[in-house]
């Protein structure tokens, strides 16, 4: 998904998906779009929360 996100403005989603599929990495444009619209999982939301807490503790401890 990151690759498509990075290059979709230059090439478009459908051509990228066609090229990836032809290269042995099958992905449909509809699959990509469904993944983009999907809400983050509970796991991803928890990771984001913990990451912020870790950054705060790290900064409060003089970045050690």
Q: Per-residue pLDDT averaged across 3-19, rounded?
A: 96
User: Which residues, including other chains, have CB under 8 Å from residue 13's CB and lie 6 or more apart?
Assistant: 4, 29, 32, 33
User: Which residues, including other chains, have CB under 8 Å from residue 29's CB and lie 6 or more apart?
Assistant: 13, 14, 17
The number of domains in the chain is 1
Q: Domain range spanning residue 49?
A: 2-60
How would you label 37-47 residue by residue, b for 16+ Cβ within 10 Å and e otherwise? eeeeeeeeeee
Q: What is the reported pTM?
A: 0.65
For residue 54, the model assigns a pLDDT of 97
Residue 64 pLDDT level (bands cut at 50, 70, 90): confident
Please give the radius of gyration of the chain, using alpha carbons only, rounded to the nearest integer.
18
Q: Per-residue pLDDT averaged across 32-61, rounded?
A: 96
């Amino acid at each position: 998904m990151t690759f498509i996100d990075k290059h979709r403005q230059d090439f478009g989603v459908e051509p990228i998906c066609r090229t990836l599929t032809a290269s042995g990495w099958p992905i449909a444009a509809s699959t990509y779009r469904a993944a983009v619209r999907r809400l983050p999982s509970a796991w991803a939301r928890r990771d984001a929360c913990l990451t912020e807490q870790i950054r705060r503790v790290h900064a409060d401890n003089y970045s050690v």
